[in-house]
Amino acid sequence: MRILTRRAILQSASLPFWLGSTLQAQAPSRDYDESKVRKYALPDPLQGVPNAEAWRKHRRTELLRLFAENEYGRKPGPPKGVHFAVTPVDENALGGKARRKLVSARLSKHPNGPEINLLIYLPKNQSGPTPIFLGVNFRGNHTVNTDPAIPLSTKWVYNNGKAAINNRSTEASRGMQSASWPVEQILARGYGLATFYAGDVFPDHAGGYEASILPLFYQEGQTKREPNEWGAIGAWSWGLSRAMDYLETDHDIDRNRVIVMGHSRMGKTALWAGASDPRFSMIVSNCSGAGGATLARRRFGESVKDLNTTFPWWFCENYRKYSDNEDAFPVDQHELIALCAPRPIYIGTAEQDRGSDPKGQFLSAVNASPVYKLLGTSGFAASEMPPVHKPVMTTIGFHVRAGRHDITTYDWEQYMNHADIHLLNRAGRKS
Ligand code: GCU
């Protein structure tokens, strides 16, 4: 009998998607005692920055480079020869409530080369270009809604009962993530939604490199990534930028109001995409936790070491230098938030999601605020952790939702309220 270590179980390609989070949440080594949080000193994003111009010209570039070199890895620009294939638009999707577009971004000239399949829903009867949320989904576009016209993803997925067998999706998985993607509500508020499956660019498991887009960029003779080169989060965020390349060309979409969003590992991804690609006008991170909005130096809940041990393919290899060594990390996650300034950003957390350290995410917002203020925005208004369901709606938005690690319609409502206020200049709705 083969005895699997906890690490081997977590890295197994057939591990059900939810089990990773469950085992992680139970990890014995984690610290959940606020009184045990050690003293730490955060790096100052405004160090050596006398004015806004110095931030824009020098410091921003320096911080971006430090995040690339030490955490997410360097990522390339678009490959040559990308082209977008758009299938005919369905003007009467979702029972007549939506317009649906299916776009395939072909990333190489090779007919069987990698492609990103983008699913786009737009509200009907919208006059003018539509503001849109863009995010990566965990299990295939067909899981986002029961709409039978969404092609079933043929890519690798986590095994999952009848929904995914032999690492391939089955018809039983249609719409199974629809609670996380409330398409109808999003459309009713006048926003569109665009999404693609993570596995189009990097299958989310330890052996995912081969089938990812990384080899497309290997230099002559290269067989693996360098220590400062991208992993899965880098690749997913790169995919978001390629999706943006398409959205910019589509006249139905408001290219100046594209909101990059994501939950959990895709929240980390959305933050890195927003920090590194200024074309995103707003950034939303939902329960992104460690390696996302949470301060690494607090070491509360999931730690850098946990991430490097359990999900080594998400980050660059250099990130391993900071396992149990956070003070040597040349940046911290509040500076990732600051890299999104002055664009509106929203950090959603959940009370029971202790592994993601809601307070550490709140403190990131507090410590990113001086950069936002320097650039002339309201920054972050709260100095105390707000109670549950009392969202903060300044340029940096924040809430703690009751409940567990998840993305719910409550979360989406806050994100749309924030976008209403900061992107559309209209009052958000009371919820
Ligand atoms: C695990 C991991 C988290 C991550 C989450 C998710 O729980 O430890 O860092 O955010 O998976 O993506 O669902």
Instruction: Assess contact for 75 and 67: CB atoms under 8 A.
Output: no
Identify whether 264 is a catalytic site residue. yes
CB atoms < 10 A from the CB of 95, how many?
Answer: 8
* Mean pLDDT taken over the chain: 93
pLDDT at residue 30 in the model: 80
Q: Over 80: is that where the pLDDT of 28 sits? A: no
Helices of type H across 97-196: 183-188
pLDDT of amino acid 11: 42
pLDDT of residue 1: 40
Q: Please, are residues 169 and 139 in contact by the beta-carbon 8 Å criterion? A: yes
Instruction: Say which of 264, 276, 303, 356 is annotated catalytic.
Output: 264
**Nearest atom (ligand 1) to Cα of 264:** 10
The pLDDT of residue 250 is above 50: yes
pLDDT tens digits along 55-68: 999 999 999 999 99
Confidence (pLDDT) at 323: 98
Residue 81's pLDDT is what?
85
pLDDT digits (tens, 9 = 90+) for 95-136: 999 999 999 999 988 888 899 999 999 999 888 999 999 999
pLDDT class for 342, splitting at 50, 70, 90?
A: very high
94, pLDDT greater than 70: yes
Which strand (E) or helix (H) includes residue 363? helix 358-374
The pLDDT value given to residue 5: 47
> Residue 126's pLDDT is what?
85
From 6, 21, 261, 313, the mutation candidate for ligand 1 (largest count of ligand atoms within 8 A of CB) is: 21
Is 158 strand, coil or helix?
coil
For the segment 367-380, what is each residue's pLDDT rounded down to a tens digit?
A: 999 999 999 999 99
pLDDT score recorded for residue 344: 98
Q: Which helix (H) or strand (E) holds 368?
A: helix 358-374
Q: In the block, which residue shows the tokens 């990097």?
A: 202
Interatomic CA distance for residues 2 and 85, integer angstroms: 46
Ligand 1 centroid to residue 306 C-alpha, Å:
10
Cα 125 to Cα 89, 96, 428: the distances in Å are: 14, 11, 21
Task: Identify the residue whose tokens are 């786009």.
Answer: 120
Q: How many residues does the chain have?
A: 431
Question: Is 418 annotated as catalytic?
Answer: no
Work out which ligand 1 atom sits closest to the CA atom of 405: 13
Q: How far is the CA of 20 from the centre of ligand 1 (A)?
A: 7
Average pLDDT over residues 131-156: 98
Position 321 scores a pLDDT of 98
Question: Considering 263, 405, 418, 422, which one is annotated as catalytic?
Answer: 405
Q: What is the pLDDT of residue 23?
A: 47
- Which residue from 109, 108, 98 is spatially nearest to 144, judged by alpha carbons? 98
Decide if pLDDT at 76 tops 90: yes
Cα 232 to middle of ligand 1, angstroms: 13
pLDDT (mean) for 12-29: 46
> Which pLDDT band holds residue 398 (cuts at 50, 70, 90)?
very high
Predicted TM-score (pTM) of the model is: 0.94
- Mean pLDDT of all residues in 240-253: 98
* Among protein residues, the one whose CA lies closest to atom 13 of ligand 1: 264
Q: What is the pLDDT of residue 429?
A: 75
Residue 238 has pLDDT above 50, yes or no: yes
Q: Of 24, 123, 127, 133, whose CA–CA distance to 413 is shortest? A: 133
- Please tell me the predicted confidence (pLDDT) of residue 58: 98
**Predicted local confidence at residue 203, as pLDDT:** 98
- Is residue 12 pLDDT above 60, yes or no? no
C-alpha pair distances (Å), 5 with each of 9, 11, 12, 85, 204 = 6, 10, 11, 45, 19
CA quadruple 66, 69, 72, 73: dihedral sign:
positive
The proportion of the chain whose per-residue pLDDT surpasses 70, expressed as a percent, equals 93
Q: How far is the CA of 405 from the centre of ligand 1 (A)?
A: 9
pLDDT score at 3: 45
Which atom of ligand 1 is closest in space to residue 25's alpha carbon?
Answer: 7
The rounded distance, in Å, linking the Cα atoms of 247 and 116 is 13
- pLDDT of amino acid 431: 55
The residue nearest atom 7 of ligand 1, judged by CA position, is: 21
Cα–Cα separations (whole angstroms), residue 45 to 174, 338, 387, 401: 44, 7, 27, 28
State pLDDT tens for residues 287-309: 999 999 999 999 999 999 999 99
d(CA 334, CA 238): 21
What's the pLDDT at 411?
98
Q: What is the pLDDT of residues 150-209, one digit of tens each?
A: 999 999 999 999 999 999 999 999 999 999 999 999 999 999 999 999 999 999 999 999
Distances (CA, A) of 115 to 158, 171, 186: 20, 22, 26
**pLDDT at residue 430 greater than cutoff 90:** no
**What residues contact 135, with CB distance under 8 A and at least 6 apart?**
193, 194, 195, 260, 261, 262, 263, 266, 270
Q: Decide: helix, strand or coil at residue 14.
A: coil
| Contacts for 312 with CB less than 8 Å, ≥ 6 apart | 206, 231, 320
Decide: helix, strand or coil at residue 137: strand
* Ligand 1 binding pocket, CB closer than 6 Å: 20-21, 24, 264-265, 289-290, 302
Q: What burial class does residue 54 get, using C-beta atoms within 10 Å of its C-beta: 0-12 exposed, 13-18 middle, 19+ buried?
A: middle
In this structure, the number of other CB atoms found within 10 A of the CB of residue 324 comes to 10
Which of 25-29, 80-84, 173-177 tops mean pLDDT?
173-177
Q: What is the Rg, in whole angstroms, of the alpha carbon atoms belonging to the chain? A: 20
Distance 63 CA to ligand 1 centre (A): 25
- pLDDT category at 29 given cuts 50, 70, 90 is low
pLDDT at 15: 43
Q: Report the nearest atom of ligand 1 relative to the CA of 267.
A: 10
